[in-house]
Each structure stands twice: as C-alpha cells, then as structure tokens.
A = this chain, B = another copy of it.
Amino acid sequence: MTPQRQLVIDAVRDLGHATPEQICAQVQSAAPAVNITTVYRTLDLLERLGMVRHTHLGHGAPTYSEQEHQHVHLVCHNCGTVMEAPTDLMDGLAERLRRESGFELDVTHVALSGRCADCPDETQIDPEETR
C-alpha cells in the first residue's frame, strides 16, 4: 500500500462517484506530482481487489465509487444531475428478471436515465444531452 494508492482510495471515498480525471484532480490537490497513469492503474488494481467498483453513468465516462457505496444512480439527461436511490427500488424488477429470464441483475452497475423533477417537461428529449 503506497501513499499514492491511499490517496486514490481517499479520493474515491470523498468524491462518492467520480471519473478517473476528477479523482486525479483530487489526488493532485494533495500530491501534485501524482500522474494520471497511476490513477488509472490504481483504480484498475482496486477494482480487481474488490475495493472499488465502477458505474456507467451514460455519457461515456465511467465513475468509480466505494464497493460499499451501493445505490441506484438516476441520471437526468437534461441537466446531468446524478441522483441516488435505494437499491431496493429494483427488487421487484430483479426478481422478475431472475424468474422470467434467469438474468441476475447487478443493480448498481448502470445508471438509469431520464428526466429529473427539476427539468421542464419536453416532448422530445434533446439527444445532445444524453451522450
């Protein structure tokens, strides 16, 4: 366990869910010399060790969070806000998938996409925002 790795773990914990680049910025605020390569390598290692996990928020960038930090992500593809919801929200769906398709759902790995309560109701959701 090197200082760099500890910093990456701390950053993941502090930021909740963040992209490798955000994590790198956070780490560099404490230790400016740390290279982004190290961040990528460390995240890869930590993930293999099961200490962190990554989630796809929809627009390209994977975000990393603690393994324990489990909830469903709701991403508004109008304003980009990421909300969190309890995982038991998915219980019914998970059960149905298991029974009907034999599919074992991993509720935390992907974010659900849609429009949050604060965003205006638009007939056509702008595809630009959902990248």
Contact = CB atoms under 8 A, between A and B. Distances in A.
A62 B60 CA distance: 8
B103 A83 contact: yes
A32 interface: no
Nearest to A50: B124
Interface of A: 44, 47-48, 50, 53-54, 56, 58-60, 62, 74, 76-77, 83, 85, 89-90, 92-93, 96-97, 101-106, 109-117, 121, 124-125, 127-128, 130-131
B109 A83 contact: no
Contact of A74 (B58, B76, B97): B97
Given A83-B103, A101-B85, A113 B110 contact: yes
Contact of A89 (B47, B97, B113): B97
A7 to B, nearest CB: 21
Contact of A127 (B53, B92, B104): B53
Contact of A56 (B56, B89, B101): B56
